[in-house]
């Protein structure tokens, strides 16, 4: 498992804005749009935006 970034927010909008800012600042891409957790909390996930290495013997 590689690097994962997690953004927590009190609202969907706050979480979306946090993800957008993170992606812009560090060159990440969203892999999970904000989803509501138990109660008034939202979570979104991103990963570094890099090319996956070619698998040996393929390509």
Three-state SS for 35?
strand
Please check whether residue 54 lies inside any domain of the structure: no
Domain that holds residue 37: 5-48
Please check whether residue 39 lies inside any domain of the structure: yes
Q: Residues in the chain, how many? A: 59
Please check whether residue 59 lies inside any domain of the structure: no
Please check whether residue 57 lies inside any domain of the structure: no
Please check whether residue 38 lies inside any domain of the structure: yes
pLDDT at 36: 96
pLDDT at 50: 76
Q: How many domains does the chain have?
A: 1
Separation of alpha carbons 26 and 57, rounded Å: 32
CB count in 10 Å sphere of residue 51: 5
pLDDT at 51: 63
Taking only the tens place, the pLDDT of each residue in 2-57 is: 899 999 999 999 999 999 999 999 999 999 999 999 888 999 999 998 765 555 55
Separation of alpha carbons 54 and 43, rounded Å: 31
């Amino acid at each position: 498992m590689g690097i994962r970034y997690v953004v927590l927010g009190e609202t969907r909008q706050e979480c979306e804005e946090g993800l957008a800012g993170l992606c812009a600042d560090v060159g990440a891409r969203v892999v999970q749009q904000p989803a509501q957790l138990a109660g008034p909390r939202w979570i979104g996930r991103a990963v570094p935006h890099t090319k996956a290495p070619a698998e040996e013997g393929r390509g």
